[in-house]
Amino acid sequence: MKRIVIAPLFLAAAVLSASAFAAPQCTSAPRAQWLTEAAMKQKVLDQGYTIKVFQVSGNCYEIYGKDKAGKNVEIYFDPTDGRIVKKKGG
């Protein structure tokens, strides 16, 4: 009987933890209003980050890389102005 109760709890925890790591809502602007990928990459580099992976994630630009101190970071940026929406690490 305990398994019947515990299994749904694990499933609920897995769903909640997965949604916590999902891409945030960065913008509702159309892509025509986004900074180009090249411009965004340069903006990120100018802020002192190194880029290991640069990708579009939902309606965000997302990077995996390192900050000025060399610590790993995962950052979601608003693609219209380059502001940080969500940051993990660093």
Q: Which CATH architecture has domain 2-89?
A: Roll (3.10)
Rounded-to-integer distance, Cα 20 and Cα 56, Å: 18
Per-residue pLDDT tens digits of the chain, which is 90 residues long? 555 555 554 555 554 444 455 779 999 999 999 999 999 999 999 999 999 999 999 999 999 999 999 999 999 999 999 999 999 998
Q: Which residue has the tokens 């995996």?
A: 64
DSSP 29: S
Does the pTM surpass 0.85? The reply is no
Rounded-to-integer distance, Cα 44 and Cα 40, Å: 6
